[in-house]
Amino acid sequence: MGKGTPAQRGGKIVHVRCRRCGSHSYHRQKKVCASCGFGDTAHRRRFSWAKLR
Ligand SMILES: [Zn+2]
């Protein structure tokens, strides 16, 4: 039983490269990019706390 965060992703590919933002955050099953919102929103998903650095 676990200490810390359990790694339950089983080695499956969950996120692939997003063709809109180029980030490796496009969810294959949900068809939504976690980074820019591609597939979910027509406009680009942005948050003030999500800063590029
Ligand atoms: Zn994206």
Per residue in 15-48, pLDDT tens? 999 999 999 999 999 999 999 899 988 888 888 8
- Look at the block and give the residue holding tokens 């992703």: 9
Q: Which CATH class is domain 13-43?
A: mainly beta
- Distance CA(19)–CA(26), nearest Å, equals 8
pTM exceeds 0.75: no
CA 38 to chain centre: 10
- Distance CA(20)–CA(2), nearest Å, equals 37
Instruction: List CB-based neighbours of ion ligand 1 within 5 Å.
Output: 18, 20-21, 33, 35-36, 38
Going from the Cα of 7 to the center of ligand 1, the distance in angstroms, rounded, reads 24
Neighbours of 33 (CB within 10 A): 26
Checking if the pLDDT of 14 tops 70, the result is yes
Beta strands in 1-53 (DSSP E): 15-16, 26-27, 32-33
Contact 50, 43 (CB under 8 A): no
